[in-house]
């Protein structure tokens, strides 16, 4: 499909149908017909009967010359899937070419797509307000105590951890809420839409009447629409620059960088594909998952070292020296959690644990103490979200794991307990 600048006539070509707009072909038309013949293709726009103004794809500025020079080519074996090819004059694209469309009906294999729920992002900045912070702590206490009253039997560790996470998530949703995935703040507003709508109406009127007066009106409306869009885009960029400077003066570096990134990068579509080690691009979800499975299997399953490690002698361990964790150590581990980090599978971020107050700290301490005494970790705390990141320096991928912040508290405690600061 493309602008071939090829006028295809009704000569005896198998690739050309009887409904072409032109009787004879120009040089590009002969080349296009020969190309289609050599590759067993057909020129779609020459096979379907339409009125002449639904066939021509280009019109000269004076409106006197009209040609069919844009074409859609399909493989001859898929000729039955092509049901119609025609032009639409109503598409207002500020060009002398018309919109060429094809109606295709093909049999496609249906595949069940894996849809992951979007990860919630809480407005944790609101927890800096003392009133909301107190409400959040009270909400966690009330929810947990209500759930404990409904439990008649003693819960196991899995259920206790799951219930505490549920209280944290529900309390955060109720008090601070989640960030809304609004559309990006763009320059295209109602004034731009109004100018473009006026341009469309003027163009439709000129196409119907073909008068010089309506043509001049259309040209003026088109110039005005371009002028409005150009002005709005310039204002949008200036406002963003002022916002960047203001955030820099206020010391809000993270917000400043977010605005810079949005302005600099613009819209980037998500590319759901991966390149195999042999250079083949995988696009289907099954192939992509298989490729990542093979990659992480080789990355995480390394061969055993040549020199085996020496196991510690249990007889030399003094059990009296192994003490239980204290609530102060757990509180220190919670304070050391980093802010603005992605959550694990449970959706709990470090800010939610820090703002939970003494009540939440005590519940986390009781759970860690139970883990310590029973010598086992809840299964869902062992899960992590593996994210591959492409590094240009090494021309390959490295992986990071988004673990549960809940479990990171226990990990930090163990690190300080056995290794020290």
Q: What is the mean pLDDT of residues 13-32?
A: 90
pTM check: above 0.75 = no
| 366-391 pLDDT tens trace | 888 888 888 887 776 667 777 777 77
| 255-304 pLDDT tens trace | 899 888 888 876 666 667 777 777 777 777 788 888 888 887 887 787 77
| 290-317 pLDDT tens trace | 888 888 788 778 777 777 656 555 555 5
HSE at residue 303, side-chain half, CA atoms within 13 A, is 3
Domains and CATH numbers, the chain: 2-104 (3.60.10.10), 124-178+323-418 (no CATH), 190-265 (no CATH), 269-301 (no CATH)
Above 70 in pLDDT, residue 66? Answer: yes
């Amino acid at each position: 499909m493309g602008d071939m600048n090829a006028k295809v006539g009704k000569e005896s070509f198998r690739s050309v149908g009887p409904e072409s707009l032109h009787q004879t072909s120009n040089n590009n038309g002969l080349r296009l017909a020969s190309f289609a013949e050599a590759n067993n293709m057909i020129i779609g726009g020459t096979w379907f009967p339409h009125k002449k103004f639904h066939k021509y794809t280009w019109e000269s500025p004076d409106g006197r010359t009209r040609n069919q020079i844009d074409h859609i080519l399909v493989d001859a074996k898929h000729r039955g899937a092509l049901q119609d090819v025609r032009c639409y004059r109503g598409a207002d694209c500020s060009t002398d070419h018309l919109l060429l469309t094809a109606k295709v009906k093909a049999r496609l294999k249906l595949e069940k797509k894996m849809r992951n729920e979007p990860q919630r992002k809480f407005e944790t900045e609101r927890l800096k307000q003392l009133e909301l912070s107190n409400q959040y702590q009270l909400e966690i206490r009330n929810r947990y105590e209500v759930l404990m009253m409904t439990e008649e039997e003693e819960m196991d560790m899995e259920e206790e951890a799951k219930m505490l996470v549920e209280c944290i998530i529900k309390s955060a949703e109720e008090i601070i809420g989640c960030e809304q995935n609004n559309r990006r703040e763009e320059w295209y507003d109602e004034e731009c839409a109004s100018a473009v709508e006026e341009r469309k109406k003027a163009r439709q009127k000129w196409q119907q009447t073909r008068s010089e007066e309506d043509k001049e009106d259309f040209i003026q409306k088109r110039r005005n629409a371009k002028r409005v869009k150009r002005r709005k885009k310039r204002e949008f960029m200036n406002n963003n620059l002022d916002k960047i400077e203001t955030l820099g003066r206020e010391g809000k570096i993270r917000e400043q960088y977010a605005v810079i990134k949005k302005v600099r990068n613009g819209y980037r579509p998500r590319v759901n594909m991966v390149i195999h080690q042999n250079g083949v691009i995988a696009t289907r979800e099954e192939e992509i998952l298989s490729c990542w499975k093979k990659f992480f299997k080789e990355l995480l399953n390394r061969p055993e070292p040549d020199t085996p490690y020496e196991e510690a002698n249990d007889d030399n361990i003094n059990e009296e020296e192994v003490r239980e964790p204290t609530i102060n150590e757990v509180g220190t581990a919670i304070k050391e959690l980093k802010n603005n980090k992605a959550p694990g599978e449970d959706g709990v971020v470090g800010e939610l644990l820090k703002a939970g107050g003494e009540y939440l700290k005590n519940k986390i301490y009781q759970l860690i103490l139970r883990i310590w005494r029973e010598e086992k970790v809840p299964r869902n705390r062992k899960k992590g979200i593996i994210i591959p990141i492409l590094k240009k320096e090494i021309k390959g991928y490295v992986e990071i794991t988004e673990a549960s912040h809940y479990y990171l508290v226990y990990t930090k405690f163990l690190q300080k307990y056995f290794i020290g600061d």
